[in-house]
């Protein structure tokens, strides 16, 4: 019988959801769903100093918005709860003591000052300092005496002195490390909380997690994880380490350096579906040239073998292009629901038909935040210069523009019906009468109506939306300007 695939997203509630974190959650979700498995949410809050108020809500909201629905978690329960590490506190010490009894871990009573002096005396600097096993050699009687006296302690994992530890990673293949390089890592801290590494192993085992997906920066810690599994006699999971998401060839994405979080991208007018689609392709290839996927399609075609070991560069231009494609191809009602708040903000109180404006915008936008800048002229005609009337391709200049606007004004004033079709028919008939090119009439009219070098929609659509009185007023303004 095939074992059920179980993956877990185990974020620490320390603030925003950065792109690398969201990608990890997405791949964990896709690994589970593509194989009919379960995706679990676990909140890892053992590092109490780093907790940020409201950060757990950010996690829930992001998963909800992106459609990465978990099958088990703190909010919905499951057979392996509780799903918040601080609520599982009672058992970690029991597991650590089990390792002490097996000779795989030991009590360490060293003070902070002693440990600092070890770092200082290490010629290679603090980053390379290893614990010198001072407390490993205490006798059982000495250990008991210190425990009875209430001396603060941590519990450390006892690493093998010699030999190597080998594990296989789905992305990076077989990796071997010398055990002599491994530090006797702390499992239980002096405050009674487990370290991240220890709680992770215990929880993953108890929750029957089959695949552990995380960043490649954890590759060097994995032998320590595996030695813990071995010490307990547990089956280790399948490891999937992901290469970094980079800002450029040399720098990882970092909020500290102004790189965007998921929330930032949403606030900047990117669509959730486009962000998820783009992130899926940061380190995974579907094996063909397709680039646009719904989440459902990703679930169906995701294959773990498509993961790359090369770092991916987060290209905001590529995301922006993809976002534009999503908006172009979106059902209009869905698009309008997204665009309407921005349109109301920009054009509230004008009485203009926002749906008509949205129709003009849909094929032209890159992000929703482009909307205010593209529609401001509907509310108020901007100040502009006559140079806008000169257009090489349209074969217009000030002189042609002036005669075209003077000819268009009485024709438009005499229209019985004011709509796109009647305006179109009247202006095209005038083009025929004047014996000029379309652009020589339509460009000056569009320019007079918008006062912008470009606009969503041409002369007929703009006149229809602005209405008879405002359109005629703006054309008169254009005539006056060109006559000066």
The 8-class DSSP code of residue 216 comes to G
Count the neighbouring beta carbons within 10 Å of the beta carbon of residue 76: 12
Look up residue 370 and give its two tokens.
């482009």
* H-run or E-run covering 473: helix 468-483
Q: Which residues pair with 462 in a beta bridge?
A: none
What's the CA angle centered on 316, arms 315 and 318, to 5 degrees?
70
Half-sphere exposure of 115 (CA within 13 A, CB side): 15
Catalytic residue among 255, 363, 379, 395: 255
With a CB cutoff of 8 Å and minimum separation 6, the contacts of 330 are 362
Number of neighbouring beta carbons within 10 Å of residue 34: 16
400, two tokens:
């042609």
376 in Cβ contact with 346 (< 8 Å): yes
255 is catalytic: yes
H helical segments located in 102-150: 112-121, 140-148
Q: Of how many residues is the chain composed?
A: 484
Task: Report the distance separating Cα 346 and Cα 454, nearest Å.
Answer: 18
Place of tokens 């010699």: 162
Region of 231 (left: φ > 0; alpha: ψ -120 to 50; beta: rest) is alpha
Asked whether 154 and 190 are in contact (CB, 8 A), the reply is yes
**Terminal C-alpha separation, the chain:** 87
∠ Cα 335 340 341 (to 5°): 125
My answer on whether omega of the bond before 244 falls inside 30° of 0, hence cis, is no
Residue pair 307/48 in contact by the 8 Å Cβ criterion: no
User: Rounded to an integer, what distance in angstroms lies between the CA atom of residue 131 and that of residue 108?
Assistant: 10
Query: Nearest Cα to 293, choosing from 301, 282, 284?
Result: 301
For residue 189, the SS3 value is coil
Q: Which residues are catalytic, by number?
A: 255
């Amino acid at each position: 019988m095939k074992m059920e695939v179980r993956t877990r997203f185990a974020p620490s509630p320390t603030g925003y959801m950065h792109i690398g974190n969201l990608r990890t959650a997405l791949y964990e979700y896709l690994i589970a769903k593509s194989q009919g498995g379960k995706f679990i949410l676990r909140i890892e809050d053992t590092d109490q100093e780093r907790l940020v108020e409201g950060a757990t809500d950010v996690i829930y909201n992001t998963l909800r918005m992106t459609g990465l629905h978990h099958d088990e978690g703190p909010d919905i329960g499951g057979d392996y709860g509780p799903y918040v590490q601080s609520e599982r506190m009672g058992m970690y010490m029991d597991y650590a003591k089990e390792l002490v009894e097996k000779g795989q871990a030991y009590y360490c009573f060293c003070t902070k000052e002693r440990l600092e002096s070890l770092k200082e005396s290490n010629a290679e600097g603090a980053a390379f300092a290893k614990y010198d096993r001072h407390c490993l050699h205490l006798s059982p009687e000495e250990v008991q005496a210190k425990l009875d006296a209430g001396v603060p302690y941590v519990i450390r994992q006892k690493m093998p002195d010699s030999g190597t530890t080998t594990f296989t990673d789905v992305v990076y293949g077989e990796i071997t490390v010398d055990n002599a390089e491994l530090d006797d890592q702390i499992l239980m801290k002096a405050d009674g909380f487990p370290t991240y590494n220890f709680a992770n192993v215990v929880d993953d085992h108890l929750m029957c997690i089959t695949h552990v997906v995380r960043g490649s920066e954890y590759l060097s810690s994995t032998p320590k994880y595996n030695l813990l599994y071995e010490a307990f006699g547990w089956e280790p999971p399948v490891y999937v380490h992901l290469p970094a998401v980079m800002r450029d060839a040399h720098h990882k994405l970092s909020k500290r350096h102004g790189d965007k979080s998921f929330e930032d991208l949403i606030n900047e007018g990117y669509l959730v579906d486009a962000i998820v689609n783009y992130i899926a392709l940061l380190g995974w290839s579907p094996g063909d040239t397709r680039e646009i996927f719904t989440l459902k399609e990703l679930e169906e075609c995701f294959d773990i073998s498509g993961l790359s070991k090369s770092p991916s560069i987060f290209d905001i231009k590529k995301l922006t292009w993809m976002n534009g494609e999503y908006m172009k191809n979106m059902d209009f009602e869905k698009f309008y629901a997204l665009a309407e708040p921005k349109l109301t903000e920009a054009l509230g109180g004008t009485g203009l038909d926002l749906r008509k404006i949205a129709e003009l915008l849909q094929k032209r936008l890159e992000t929703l935040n482009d909307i205010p800048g593209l529609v401001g002229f509907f509310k108020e005609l901007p100040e502009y210069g006559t140079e806008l009337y000169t257009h090489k391709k349209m074969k217009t200049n000030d002189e042609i523009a002036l005669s075209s606007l003077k000819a268009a004004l009485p024709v438009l004033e005499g229209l019985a019906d004011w709509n796109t079709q009647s305006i179109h028919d009247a202006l095209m008939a005038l083009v025929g009468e004047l014996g000029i090119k379309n652009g020589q009439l339509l460009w000056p009219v569009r320019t007079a109506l918008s006062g912008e070098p470009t606009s969503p929609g041409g002369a007929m659509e703009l006149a229809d939306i602005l209405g008879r009185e405002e359109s005629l007023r703006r054309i008169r303004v254009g005539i006056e300007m060109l006559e000066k």
